[in-house]
Amino acid sequence: MTSMTRWNPLKTVSRMDPLATFEDMFRGLSTRPLWRELEATAPDMRIDVTENDKAFLVSAEIPGIDKNDIEISVEGNQVLISAEVKRESKKKDNEMDIYTERYYGKVFRSFSLPTELESTKADAHYENGILHLTLPKKHNGSVRKIVVS
């Protein structure tokens, strides 16, 4: 088994070899292990929005979240969905993380819809990692058609 060593980008520079060219100092930088490049970044919250006569229907992928950690706010035609991904830490005393890709922290998604929404009649349901929102449209009185003369 090989031992892990910490990568030092200035190792070549610290030697200060007077015969090394400028290009040689940076040649070793590309040999850095790929897995160090991959950091846990916030995942995308992918959404689908459909519309019918009465409401907008939103489906948002938020896997691995407890439904109590999801917050939804609606103001006018603006919708904000935020959720907190919590990291479970059940390690023993002699264990340490070597490599981790799983994200933890807050994720959010904000978007606008074409019409005002009835926020008091909105409904949310979370099942199997998918958040389903029903956002009723606000009816602004009667619609009047104007004939062009």
| Rounded Cα distance, 87 and 71, in Å | 18
- Read off the pLDDT band of 138 (50, 70, 90): confident
Residue 52: which domain range?
47-88+101-136
Please report whether residue 72 resides in a domain: yes
Q: What is the CATH number of the domain that holds 60?
A: 2.60.40.790
pLDDT (tens digit per residue) in 41-94: 566 789 999 999 999 999 999 988 899 999 999 999 999 999 998 877 677 778
**Mean pLDDT confidence for 21-48:** 61
Please report whether residue 105 resides in a domain: yes
pLDDT of residue 5: 55
- Is pTM beyond 0.85? Reply is no
Please report whether residue 126 resides in a domain: yes
What are the residue ranges of helices labelled H in 1-120?
11-15, 22-27
**How would you class 58 by CB atoms within 10 Å of its CB: exposed for 0-12, middle for 13-18, buried for 19 or more?**
buried
Number of domains composing the chain: 1
pLDDT of residue 111: 94
Instruction: Classify residue 68 by its DSSP letter.
Output: G
Question: Would you say 130 and 59 are in contact if contact means Cβ atoms under 8 Å apart?
Answer: yes
